[in-house]
Structure 1
Amino acid sequence: MRALRAVCAGAAESETRLSDVAGALRIAPRSATEVVDVLESRGLVERSPSSRDRRAVVVRPTAEGLRVQEALERHRAEQSAAFLGALSPQERDTLARLLRKVLDD
Structure 2
Amino acid sequence: MSNAPDPRELAELFHAVSRTMRRRTLAQLEPWGITPHHARALRSISETDRARLRDVADRLRIAARSATEVVDALEAKGLVTREPDPQDRRATLVSPTEDGLRLVEQIDAARAERNAEFFGALTAEDREALQRILGSLPLD
TM-score w.r.t. length of structure 1: 0.80
C-alpha distance in structure 2 between counterparts of 1:89 and 1:10, whole Å: 33
Tell me how many residue pairs correspond in the alignment.
Answer: 101
Which ranges of 4 or more aligned residues in structure 1 deviate by more than 4 Å? none
- Range with greater deviation from structure 2 (91-100 or 73-82): 91-100
Work out which of the residue numbers 26, 36, 42 in structure 1 matches 2:71: 36
What's the counterpart of residue 91 of structure 1? 126
Which blocks of at least 5 consecutive residues in structure 2 are unaligned? 1-38
C-alpha distance in structure 2 between counterparts of 1:57 and 1:35, whole Å: 14
- Per-residue CA deviation, residues 34-73 of structure 1 (Å, 9 max, x unaligned), is 110110010000112336x242321111000011111111
Match of 1:64, SS?
Answer: helix
TM-score w.r.t. length of structure 2: 0.62
Q: Give the superposition deviation at 1:101.
A: 4.1
RMSD between superposed Cα atoms in Å: 2.1
What's the counterpart of residue 70 of structure 1? 105
1:3 and 2:41 aligned: yes
Which blocks of at least 5 consecutive residues in structure 1 are unaligned? none
Q: Give the superposition deviation at 1:75.
A: 0.6
- Bigger Rg over Cα: 2
Work out which of the residue numbers 46, 59, 66 in structure 1 matches 2:94: 59
Matched residues, percent identical? 50
Match of 1:30, SS?
Answer: helix
